[in-house]
Amino acid sequence: MSNKNGVDLKGIFTFALAILVVLSALYLCLEKYFERADLLYLDGAVETKRPWSNKWIAVTEDTKICRGSEIKTGDAGTVELELPDDCFVKVGPDSRVKINKIGMVGITKRAGNGVELIYGKVRAIAAPFANKMSGFSIKSLRTYIGLREADLGVIKSIEPETTQILGLYGEVTVNAKGEGLVVGADEEVRVVEDVAPDTKTKLDEKLKADFLREMDFVSLRAREWIRDDLKLYGTEAKEEVIEVELPEPEEASEGSREAGGYTVTKGDSLWKIAEKFYGDGSGYTILYEANRGEVKLEDLIYPGQTIVIPSLEDK
């Protein structure tokens, strides 16, 4: 088709359409690089690698973090990012993460408790931040959070807008009824729907112990836990886990319940052991104090570990 001047209108239209298709495809390919995360906090050695480069560069306050970027922290490095969809990513020391897409993070290296995976509105946290008062805001009351190493554990009830904090290490800010509830380091609190902002209450230790026992929690294996419809589900995290061969635990005899030593068996918790030896689970604090050198956190005991059982007369 051409006009009276001999111009091929069909050819021009086809060419313009082809250009439009190419530009659209190019835009779609580059779109993921247009969204950028805001740098909230930076401390120590932190590097990033852009998706189009294999070179690691030092992160500064002016560095742009886009989708596909990887972040690597040094032994004392920490970084906090806020993503465009109001999700937060906090990466602790000696860790490495990749922003798979804005709002979703994949761990490529995890050392200690440097990075924590979360399922829900908030995708990842890191703890502890011992060198700063780090606030952590849960943007949605309908968030499920996995418990690992007692940094932060939450049970989400099937009742709407009801959330309970089980354990806490480091400072955290939780939205209770839309208001911020700041919780200090090592405090244990419960936050439910009808709790007023800034209200702090002690956690029911038995609830916490039962929760950990139901999870069959073993510190040597990194897991993500999701509570749904009052049932617990556990899946191995997609990361490298060092397999450690543990000796078969000895059967606990009546004689082994006397004060002295005890070999931890599968399903044990300090609460459960205290009930066994002292007749009262609240005696777990005695066990924790007596085994501080071996038990770093109250919830971190594992099958095959030997702990000291003090006599109540000594206390």
pLDDT tens digits, 220-230: 222 333 333 32
Please give the pLDDT value at position 211: 44
pLDDT at position 19 is 85
Both tokens assigned to 110 = 């995890």
CA 57 – CA 8 distance, rounded (Å): 52
pTM for the complete prediction? 0.32
pLDDT above 90 (res 15):
no
Angle at alpha carbon of residue 242, lines to 295 and 245, rounded to 5°:
70
pLDDT exceeds 90 at position 56: yes
Model pLDDT for residues 93-121, shown as the tens digit of each residue = 777 777 765 444 444 444 433 333 332 22
pLDDT at 146: 30
Q: Cα(50)–Cα(74) distance, rounded to whole angstroms?
A: 18
Q: 154 by DSSP, 3-state: which?
A: strand
Max mean pLDDT among 4-18, 83-97, 242-256, 281-295 falls in 281-295
Instruction: Assess if residue 86 is contained within a domain.
Output: yes
Contact status, residue 213 vs residue 276, Cβ threshold 8 Å: no
Residue 310 has a pLDDT of: 83
- Cβ pair 266, 213 in contact under 8 A: no
Mean pLDDT of 43-53: 86
Domain of residue 59, residue span = 36-236
- My answer on whether 60 and 115 are in the same domain is yes
What average pLDDT does the chain have? 55
Residue listed under structure tokens 């993503």: 83
DSSP H or E stretch at residue 47? strand 46-49
pLDDT at residue 16 tops 60? yes
Cβ-contact 105, 141 below 8 angstroms: no
Instruction: Return the CATH number at 301.
Output: 3.10.350.10
**pLDDT at residue 312 above 90?**
no
User: Do 186 and 167 meet the contact criterion of CB atoms below 8 Å apart?
Assistant: no
For the chain, what is the domain count?
Answer: 2
Residue 145 lies in a domain: yes
**Integer Cα distance of 274 and 262 in angstroms:** 11
Phi and psi (nearest 5°) for 50? Answer: -75, 155
**Residue 245: inside a domain, yes or no?**
no
Distance CA 4, CA 107 (A): 64
Using 50, 70 and 90 to split pLDDT, how confident is the model at 17? confident
Query: Are 69 and 149 in a shared domain?
Result: yes
Q: Does 145 lie in the same domain as 175?
A: yes
Tokens (6 digits) for 309: 């059982």
Query: Tell me, what's the pLDDT at 297?
Result: 56
